[in-house]
Chains A and B, each alone.
Chain A
């Protein structure tokens, strides 16, 4: 039983980060109906920038701040240069364009910072906490990850449901023409959605970097898990993305713990396939996703 709990606790951390990436994908999807494959590439790039700031100043907080700003700016750049012109195209056009951005960002990062994995120091201890005489697979750093993720999710939910800005963003996403006719500056809202997604991705990148290593390709696999979580969650639902993001992390941890690490992607694939067969629009998709 305790091993089971250990696995679950371990899964929560990676699940939280997968949830953040899924959240970023959902934000972009909601604003522009595009699945942004470049999201993890943007996160990787901004995390490198955060690492530079960390190395220069020694401050994790400043690094996070730099990552956030860089994430927003990079999100805006990708949107303005690539996706805004592409929007008129079909799904495959946007998928291919974002994929092109991903490859370009990875190559650029490899050119600038090299392919070798670099370590990103955590702001608080990343050692297992000792509670009640035994060491649990959860550290103060994990706690920080949970708290930041929870705060972000709550803040985003409030933004979308309780503010004029959130309403403008939702209207722009659902029906750009009606939004324009209502006086909403739709292009600004879409760009804001991309910037916001960039920020969330940057947070995810800075949070995962200390427990992982940072290299141009180090977030690739997270893209697939986050994508799975976002798709299973219905792509439109913030709550779905978070729930299935964390869920994916837990499943991965349990499969890795009890079975073999190599089985994890198969299990994720099976979950994805079953969900899509039962509900082709995702578990939280189609009509149920209004609230958030």
Chain B
């Protein structure tokens, strides 16, 4: 075997990722639509978090702003797929793949700019800049209501492989309303159908006031977020901070996993919103349907189940991103990143440019973030400033820390935790007789305490724990 082939990690990694892709794809068509939806979310998070592993774990730069880079990808995906569908590229017909590629390009450019800004900055200053980006960048969208849909965002159709698919809004609303309650229950309450609570939740869900109610706390996967007071553009004014409508929920990661966590749905304010459902919807919401109908297992006219199609796209992107990430991490570039992280001066003396290394980590993580953002856009069938808020950025950090900062497998574990934890905690809380106010906030509390505990007890996250457990097993005398 020639040495270049023997040394090539491609040989090992490519079959590995093809195998993972095959398994996940098979899984995707075997499970219920809701699980496919979760699968899509988890794969999307994993894609973005591969970038976080490289940036935070390997390159040692803490980013609180990768959610904003996802917004770049999401918006590029949305704008190109909405406006350029008739434009042939390289003689080929427009295809959603082009949008994804453009999204990645957008991410690379954004990452380059931010990386150049960030390369000179130390810990807290870098954190400050990236937090500023997390807040500032998505609200740029509000500046361009024409092209980017303003603070309301843009509705998308899910691009299908065989053309001709378009969502008829009215039909979709009907579908959403008529869609079986069980599926919605599932979507709201977690993996298993929970009786009374969840069904009341679902009925709240379907009232128009809930969808757009200004009193509901933000929950990015629901349309209420889109129009509600929680969109950054609204909330960032000083007066809004003080406004009577509850402002951003932006720092709670449970938001990000959105509709899977009942917490945001069933807060008292939400219930009041539903009670006063007579109040007219102030903002036209053509999109509401698409999102509410998302987890309901709609069979498309192309014969797909919507969630399964979304998940298959998400899984494919995650597998490609994971393959690229693994090759980078295990290759020369991975060693360069680690060398600069551990000792920039020594690295510089060995002929590595610390600045270039830091910028390249930003570019790569930004590319992955943008790809994930594009996938997120097609999962939500929507892009908007609220969907890519600070909560998203921070939840990426949460996921990476929980999984294990320097590990790609850790990123996958973190992604699964981000999607599964809120539901799991709600299930655990179950019927303990606690009030909604308590149970609804349990997942968030669990996130917070877990973060603190992980940093205090297991700074290596789940992967660190597994690693030390493994060492203990293997070194036993």
- A contact residues vs B (CB 8 Å cutoff): 10, 14, 29, 35, 82, 85-86, 89-97, 99-108, 110-111, 114-117, 208, 211-213, 215, 217-224, 227-228, 230-231, 235, 249, 252-253, 256, 260-266, 268-270, 272-273, 276-277, 280-282
A-chain residues with CB within 8 Å of residue B456 when the two chains form the complex = 82, 85-86, 97
A-chain residues with CB within 8 Å of residue B133 when the two chains form the complex = 269
Query: By the criterion CB–CB under 8 Å, are A107 and B448 in contact?
Result: yes
Q: A111-B441, A111-B445 are in contact. Are A262 and B142 (CB under 8 A)?
A: yes
Query: By the criterion CB–CB under 8 Å, are A103 and B444 in contact?
Result: yes
Cβ-based interface call for B459 (8 A)? yes
CB within 8 Å of A: which B231-245 residues: 232-245
Least CB distance, A30 to chain B, in whole angstroms:
12
Least CB distance, A6 to chain B, in whole angstroms:
14
Q: A115-B267, A262-B232, A268-B136 are in contact. Are A104 and B452 (CB under 8 A)?
A: yes
Query: By the criterion CB–CB under 8 Å, are B237 and A217 in contact?
Result: no
A-chain residues with CB within 8 Å of residue B240 when the two chains form the complex = 221, 261
Q: A85-B456, A115-B217 are in contact. Are A107 and B247 (CB under 8 A)?
A: no
| Residue-wise interface mask of B (93-135) relative to A, using a CB-CB cutoff of 8 A (1 in contact, 0 not) | 0000000000000000000000001001111110111011101
Query: By the criterion CB–CB under 8 Å, are A116 and B143 in contact?
Result: no
Q: Out of A89, A217, A282, which one reaches B251, CB within 8 Å?
A: A217
Q: Out of A117, A264, A270, which one reaches B236, CB within 8 Å?
A: A264
Query: By the criterion CB–CB under 8 Å, are A99 and B451 in contact?
Result: yes
Query: By the criterion CB–CB under 8 Å, are B268 and A115 in contact?
Result: yes
Q: Out of B239, B250, B438, which one reaches A217, CB within 8 Å?
A: B250
Q: Out of A14, A100, A231, which one reaches B125, CB within 8 Å?
A: A231
Cβ-based interface call for B328 (8 A)? no
Query: By the criterion CB–CB under 8 Å, are B252 and A106 in contact?
Result: yes
Query: By the criterion CB–CB under 8 Å, are A265 and B125 in contact?
Result: no
A85 to B453: give the CA distance in the assembly, Å: 11
Cβ-based interface call for B401 (8 A)? yes
Query: By the criterion CB–CB under 8 Å, are A276 and B117 in contact?
Result: yes
Residue in B397, B405, B456 whose Cβ sees the most chain A Cβ within 10 Å: B456
B-chain residues with CB within 8 Å of residue A90 when the two chains form the complex = 60, 123
Known: A99-B451, A100-B454, A277-B120. 4 other contacts (CB 8 A): A97-B455, A106-B251, A220-B247, A273-B117
Residue in A221, A249, A260, A280 whose Cβ sees the most chain B Cβ within 10 Å: A221
Q: Out of B233, B251, B405, which one reaches A220, CB within 8 Å?
A: B251
Cβ-based interface call for B62 (8 A)? yes
- B contact residues vs A (CB 8 Å cutoff): 56, 60, 62, 64, 117, 120-125, 127-129, 131-133, 135-137, 139-140, 142-143, 151, 217, 232-253, 267-269, 390, 394, 397-398, 401, 405, 437-438, 440-442, 444-445, 447-452, 454-456, 459
Q: Out of B125, B241, B437, which one reaches A282, CB within 8 Å?
A: B125
Q: Out of A86, A111, A264, A269, which one reaches B455, CB within 8 Å?
A: A86
A104 to B405: give the CA distance in the assembly, Å: 21
A92 to B246: give the CA distance in the assembly, Å: 30
B-chain residues with CB within 8 Å of residue A110 when the two chains form the complex = 267, 437, 440-441, 444
A263 to B385: give the CA distance in the assembly, Å: 13
Nearest B residue (CB) for A221: B241
A-chain residues with CB within 8 Å of residue B437 when the two chains form the complex = 110-111, 114-115
Q: List 10 A-B contacts (CB under 8 A).
A: A35-B127, A97-B455, A103-B252, A104-B448, A221-B135, A230-B128, A231-B124, A235-B124, A256-B237, A268-B132
B-chain residues with CB within 8 Å of residue A280 when the two chains form the complex = 120-122, 125
Query: By the criterion CB–CB under 8 Å, are B125 and A281 in contact?
Result: yes
A14 to B239: give the CA distance in the assembly, Å: 9
Query: By the criterion CB–CB under 8 Å, are B136 and A269 in contact?
Result: yes
A114 to B272: give the CA distance in the assembly, Å: 13
B-chain residues with CB within 8 Å of residue A102 when the two chains form the complex = 251, 448
A-chain residues with CB within 8 Å of residue B132 when the two chains form the complex = 224, 228, 265, 268-269, 272-273
Query: By the criterion CB–CB under 8 Å, are A114 and B451 in contact?
Result: no
Query: By the criterion CB–CB under 8 Å, are A29 and B251 in contact?
Result: no
A10 to B244: give the CA distance in the assembly, Å: 19
Q: Out of B129, B234, B398, B447, which one reaches A272, CB within 8 Å?
A: B129
Nearest A residue (CB) for B391: A220
A-chain residues with CB within 8 Å of residue B269 when the two chains form the complex = 115-116
Least CB distance, B226 to chain A, in whole angstroms:
15
Q: Out of B127, B244, B252, B455, which one reaches A117, CB within 8 Å?
A: B244
A-chain residues with CB within 8 Å of residue B459 when the two chains form the complex = 89, 93
Least CB distance, A134 to chain B, in whole angstroms:
21
A106 to B217: give the CA distance in the assembly, Å: 13
Query: By the criterion CB–CB under 8 Å, are A92 and B123 in contact?
Result: yes
B-chain residues with CB within 8 Å of residue A221 when the two chains form the complex = 135, 235-236, 240-241, 247-248
A-chain residues with CB within 8 Å of residue B253 when the two chains form the complex = 103
Q: Out of A115, A212, A256, A269, which one reaches B137, CB within 8 Å?
A: A269
Least CB distance, B406 to chain A, in whole angstroms:
11
B-chain residues with CB within 8 Å of residue A114 when the two chains form the complex = 267-268, 437
Query: By the criterion CB–CB under 8 Å, are A217 and B233 in contact?
Result: no
Query: By the criterion CB–CB under 8 Å, are B246 and A91 in contact?
Result: no
Query: By the criterion CB–CB under 8 Å, are B217 and A262 in contact?
Result: no
Query: By the criterion CB–CB under 8 Å, are B247 and A101 in contact?
Result: no
Least CB distance, A96 to chain B, in whole angstroms:
5
Nearest B residue (CB) for A110: B441
Query: By the criterion CB–CB under 8 Å, are B238 and A96 in contact?
Result: no
Least CB distance, A230 to chain B, in whole angstroms:
8
Which 4 residue pairs of A and B lie closest in terms of their CB atoms, listed nearest first?
A100-B451, A269-B136, A262-B233, A104-B448
Q: A29-B124, A82-B456, A86-B456 are in contact. Are A218 and B241 (CB under 8 A)?
A: yes
A-chain residues with CB within 8 Å of residue B60 when the two chains form the complex = 90, 92
A12 to B142: give the CA distance in the assembly, Å: 26
Least CB distance, B16 to chain A, in whole angstroms:
29
Nearest B residue (CB) for A266: B136
A221 to B241: give the CA distance in the assembly, Å: 7
Q: A106-B252, A110-B437, A273-B132 are in contact. Are A96 and B124 (CB under 8 A)?
A: no
B-chain residues with CB within 8 Å of residue A86 when the two chains form the complex = 455-456
Least CB distance, B234 to chain A, in whole angstroms:
7
